[in-house]
């Protein structure tokens, strides 16, 4: 049996032919949900010249996918899991497997160009948008989108890491794991905050917020599960704002807390944190209004608010003194 045949049988999937160009080493790696696979890929048309569409070696950055993580081009998982480390193989795939390639290629090219892979400005329903013929921003991909065709993928398997062997970034987690990660990240953030490492703490809070937002957008807005996540997200955002206060990013604090207040006018802590930011930028009226709202929502905050109003009065006096000095020379 030729190795070519052997490869084709091995995959057991219609519409794929595998040819091993360079044999890999050792036994087959273990591929389970959560395994991270690093590889190089070259995509070619099935024309006489075998025209190259994409080649990760040109950008120099290999591709990474996490098995079972719903990567858009599912067929690549199938192809990769038939390979050994160091193996280079060519796969011919028919149209049933290559239809989504132009979309995936667009994302990969945008990432390689250092752009955000998602076009946030396309608001109407994503799928409908795709079918109403609309340019992907690359002529060759537009062509492929209009006339889907079989493609050759030449893959080189570089590295296979089991879930325990690499630091799983939050994008590589499924929803259940994301939810479990949130309290851990929250705790790490709090610890870093106490140590005065505010920048590091913001990164942990941010990662936790991203986890929550990722799950939340699958829930129905304003229903119980969504609200529970919203509450967690707001709490983390306010912790994040406490770090920003320490880092003197007052305007950003005002922006984030105002977002929360607009959605949830009863969120006492948001008013409190915003009031503190207003003090630092001498917004006297706004600070007083926020602290009044805090006391309406929670009279138990009286002592804290009194202390903050003391700080506000001191800030305003300092500013008045400075202004006097500044304007004295003018008249």
Single out the residue of 47, 45, 48, 64 nearest to residue 56, CA to CA: 64
Judged against a pLDDT cut of 60, whether residue 124 lies above it is answered with: no
| pLDDT for residue 4 | 43
Judged against a pLDDT cut of 80, whether residue 312 lies above it is answered with: yes
Q: Which residue has the higher pLDDT, 276 or 9?
A: 276
Which DSSP state fits 115? S
Give 168's pLDDT tier (boundaries 50, 70, 90): low
- Provide the token pair at 94: 């028919």
pLDDT tens for residues 205-240? Answer: 988 888 888 788 888 888 888 899 999 999 999 999
Judged against a pLDDT cut of 60, whether residue 130 lies above it is answered with: no
| pLDDT for residue 5 | 41
Judged against a pLDDT cut of 50, whether residue 197 lies above it is answered with: yes
Average pLDDT of the chain, as a whole number: 84
Give 24's pLDDT tier (boundaries 50, 70, 90): confident
For 227-258, the three-class secondary structure string (H helix, E strand, C coil) is: HHHHHHHHHHHHHHHHHHHHCCCHHHHHHHHH
| pLDDT for residue 303 | 96
CATH 1.25.40.10 fits 170-328, yes or no: yes
- Provide the token pair at 172: 């590589």
Q: How many CA atoms lie within 13 A of 111 on its CB side?
A: 13
* 78-82 long-range contacts, CB within 8 A, separation 24+: 78/11, 78/13, 78/16, 79/11, 79/16, 79/18, 79/153, 79/155, 80/31, 80/37, 80/39, 80/155, 80/157, 81/31, 82/7, 82/10, 82/11, 82/18
Q: Domain 3-165 is in which class?
A: alpha beta
Determine the number of helices (DSSP H) and then strands (DSSP E) in the chain: 14, 6
Write down the pTM of the prediction. Answer: 0.51
Give 11's pLDDT tier (boundaries 50, 70, 90): low
Facing residues of 93 across strands?
A: 16, 151
Share of the chain above pLDDT 70, in %: 86
Domain residue extents for the chain: 3-165, 170-328
Give 172's pLDDT tier (boundaries 50, 70, 90): low
Single out the residue of 9, 42, 61, 22 nearest to residue 153, CA to CA: 42
pLDDT tens for residues 37-66? Answer: 999 999 999 999 999 999 999 878 888 888
Pick the range with the lowest mean pLDDT from 58-67, 258-267, 317-326.
58-67
């Amino acid at each position: 049996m030729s190795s070519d045949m052997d490869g084709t049988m091995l995959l057991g999937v219609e519409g794929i032919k595998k040819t091993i160009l360079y044999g890999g080493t050792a036994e087959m790696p273990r591929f389970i949900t959560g395994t991270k696979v690093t590889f190089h890929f070259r995509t070619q048309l099935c024309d006489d010249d075998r025209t190259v569409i994409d080649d990760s070696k040109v950008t120099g950055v290999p591709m990474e996918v996490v098995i079972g993580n719903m990567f858009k081009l599912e067929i690549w998982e199938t192809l990769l899991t038939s390979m050994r480390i160091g193996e280079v193989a060519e796969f011919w795939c028919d149209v049933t497997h290559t239809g989504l390639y132009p979309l995936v290629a667009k994302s990969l090219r945008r990432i390689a160009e250092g752009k955000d892979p998602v076009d946030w400005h396309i608001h109407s329903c994503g799928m409908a948008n795709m079918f109403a013929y609309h340019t992907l921003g690359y002529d060759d991909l537009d062509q492929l989108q209009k006339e889907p065709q079989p493609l050759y993928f030449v893959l080189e398997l570089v590295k296979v890491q089991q879930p325990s062997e690499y630091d799983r970034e939050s994008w590589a987690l499924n929803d259940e794991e994301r939810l479990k990660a949130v309290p851990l990240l929250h705790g790490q953030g709090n610890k870093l905050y106490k140590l005065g490492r505010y920048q590091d703490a913001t990164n942990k809070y941010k990662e936790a917020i991203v986890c929550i937002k990722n799950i939340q957008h699958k829930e129905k807005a304003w229903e119980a599960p969504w609200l529970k996540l919203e509450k967690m997200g707001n709490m983390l955002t306010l912790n994040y704002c406490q770090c920003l206060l320490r880092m003197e990013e007052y305007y950003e604090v005002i922006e984030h807390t105002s977002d929360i207040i607009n959605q949830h006018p009863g969120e006492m802590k948001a008013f409190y944190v915003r009031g503190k930011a207003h003090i630092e930028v001498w917004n006297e009226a706004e600070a007083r209004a926020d602290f009044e709202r805090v006391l309406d929502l929670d009279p138990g905050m009286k002592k804290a608010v009194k202390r903050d109003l003391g700080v506000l009065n001191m800030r305003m006096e300092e500013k008045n003194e400075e202004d006097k000095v500044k304007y004295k020379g003018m008249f």
